[in-house]
Amino acid sequence: MDANNAKVEYLLRQGDNALILSQQLSQLCGKGPALEEDMALTNVALDLLGQTRMWLTYAGELEGHGRDEDRLAYLRDSREFRNCLLVEQPNADYAQVMVRQFFFDTWHYFLMRELITSTDRRIAEIAEKSLKEVTYHLRRSGDLVVRLGDGTPLSHAKMQAAVDELWTYAGEMFIYDAVDEAMVAQGVAPRAEPLLDAFLQHVGEVLAEATLAMPSPSAYMQRGGKQGRHTERLGYILAEMQVLQRAYPGADW
């Protein structure tokens, strides 16, 4: 894999993570458990969608095949998506929505903080823009994890179940493959180990405050999303997200 291809892959991973999580949060619009939560979910979805556009636009330009952000988002099939498995986990209940968000935000925050010093200037700029938003996301999801974890017996039980259920998807971002290693070698992306340490420390602190048990860091971690091997669920997400462009190819406003 040449250096340019590796960078395109890396950018698609960033863009697809933000895109799929944004789509999942958007599906909750009008269904939040409270008005404030509903607005927060859609605000976070909007931030992530804005970040998606920056990543995918850059990926399309580097790829050089004339694919813009819309073609990349609407006209790829699930095997071509590069998002991690975590973001395609279902909106099963609000505990799972918030734990998924908290795991994602924690990783996202520490990654963006490193990417602002990337040797790739454009990546550094996108990260700088994203970091402010992501910081706000992480503050909110951490708050919610504590409030619900250290809440009623029922909310506590649901949060613990969500943590246990989603933990196996929280490690994929730190399992580096040839693409990630190529980015590290070029100084584009940070190494996995310091990111993982920061992730485990912050998650540990918040879960402890939330009176939730932290699963084992050495548990088996699911993987494959970054390489395009997804769960069945992604197909349903894409079916809804892409239906208009699939039915009316090239449709525009």
Of 123 and 182, which CB lies nearer to another protein in the complex structure?
123
Task: Determine the length of the chain.
Answer: 253
Of 42 and 91, which CB lies nearer to another protein in the complex structure?
42
| 177 to 72, 88, 147, 173: CA distances (angstroms) | 22, 20, 36, 10
End-to-end CA distance of the chain: 37
Of 43 and 231, which CB lies nearer to another protein in the complex structure?
43
Residue from 191, 172, 193 nearest 181 by CA: 191
In the complex, minimum distance from the CB of residue 142 to another protein, in angstroms, rounded to a whole number: 5
| 58 to 42, 116, 131: CA distances (angstroms) | 24, 16, 18
Element (H, E) at 73: helix 69-74
Of 126 and 189, which CB lies nearer to another protein in the complex structure?
126
Read out DSSP for 94-151?
HHHHHHHHHHHHHHHHHHHHHHTT-SSHHHHHHHHHHHHHHHHHHHHHHHHHHHHHTS
Of 97 and 182, which CB lies nearer to another protein in the complex structure?
97
At 227, is the secondary structure helix, strand, or coil?
helix
In the complex, minimum distance from the CB of residue 176 to another protein, in angstroms, rounded to a whole number: 23
In the complex, minimum distance from the CB of residue 223 to another protein, in angstroms, rounded to a whole number: 26
Q: Round to whole Å and give the CA distance between 185 and 46.
A: 33
User: Which residues of this chain interact with another protein, rule CB under 8 A?
Assistant: 35-36, 39-40, 43-44, 46-51, 53-54, 106, 109, 113, 116, 124-126, 128-133, 135-136, 138-140, 142-143, 146, 202, 206
Residue from 234, 214, 131 nearest 170 by CA: 214
In the complex, minimum distance from the CB of residue 250 to another protein, in angstroms, rounded to a whole number: 20
Of 120 and 180, which CB lies nearer to another protein in the complex structure?
120
